[in-house]
Amino acid sequence: MRTYLQVALAFLLIAVAAAACTGEEPTPTPSPTATLTPVPPPTATPTPSPTATATPIPAPTATPSPTPTLTPTPTASPTPAPTATPIPRVPVTVALSATAVGTLVTYTIAVTNASPNLAAGQVTVAGVIPTGGTFVRETGTPEGSTFLGNAGAGTTMNSAVWTTPTLAPGAKVQYSYQVSVGTERAATAWASWREPRVDFAVSERASP
């Protein structure tokens, strides 16, 4: 390459000198046409766009609703029926005796409470007038009792009647009355009380 340029330059100098001697303008030697070697445009290396990585969004976890705890309905316990406490019976007894003077008979009623600790309350005592007889009078009323008179005169309930508020435990009281009798002389007596429970007692028939 260098030799080629040197030779070309020598020819150029000779041509110039010849022209100067002839007075003619030297014929311009065409310059070698530069051959343009096409420079390929730079290939753009595509820069890969960053691939967006989708970050998965976790699905919301459903919080389970708490299972309601069923409160068992309390079973109603049956209320036991109250046990009735038996009311004790007061052992009251009634005895009747009779004495006569002619047609006048005296009847004596003896009422006894044999319980050592229970009293009989609201006591009523009655001596029956025999059929055909006539009540004469009351002849004996214990302290604390009240003679109510001849009740039911003219009927089968014709009686001499007393009341007493309380017949104490172990007490024995006597009531007496006189009757003008007819042919029937036998009589009976009875006592009833309301406390601690309603009860009664009847004597045996008595006759003078």
Residue 108 is part of a domain; what is its CATH number? 2.60.40.290
The answer as to whether 66 is a domain residue is no
Band (26; pLDDT cuts 50, 70, 90):
very low
The answer as to whether 31 is a domain residue is no
pLDDT digits (tens, 9 = 90+) for 172-188: 999 999 999 999 999 99
The answer as to whether 59 is a domain residue is no
Q: What mean pLDDT, rounded, does the chain reach?
A: 81
pLDDT for 11 beyond 60: no
How far is 173 from 165, CA to CA, in rounded Å?
13
Strand 189-193 and strand 199-202: the pairing is antiparallel
Band (80; pLDDT cuts 50, 70, 90):
confident
Please tell me the least confidently modeled range out of 18-32, 73-87, 132-146, 175-189: 18-32
pLDDT for 81 beyond 70: yes
Of residues 147 and 71, more confidently modeled:
147
Give the count of alpha carbons within 13 A of 166, CB side only: 7
Q: Check: CB of residue 171 under 8 Å from CB of residue 115.
A: no
Expressed as residue numbers, the domain containing 136 is 92-202
What mean pLDDT comes out for the span 101-123?
97
| pTM for this prediction | 0.60
pLDDT at position 154:
78
The answer as to whether 140 is a domain residue is yes
The H or E element that residue 160 is part of is strand 159-167
pLDDT at position 91:
96
- Of residues 110, 116, 120, 111, the one with CA closest to residue 89: 120
The answer as to whether 198 is a domain residue is yes
The answer as to whether 161 is a domain residue is yes
The answer as to whether 14 is a domain residue is no
Number of domains present in the structure of the chain: 1
pLDDT at position 83:
81
- Of residues 142, 138, 130, 108, the one with CA closest to residue 180: 130
pLDDT digits (tens, 9 = 90+) for 131-144: 999 999 999 999 99
How far is 186 from 204, CA to CA, in rounded Å?
10
What mean pLDDT comes out for the span 1-9?
55
pLDDT at position 54:
60
User: What is the number of other CB atoms lying within 10 angstroms of the CB of residue 18?
Assistant: 11
What mean pLDDT comes out for the span 85-111?
95
pLDDT for 31 beyond 80: no
The answer as to whether 1 is a domain residue is no
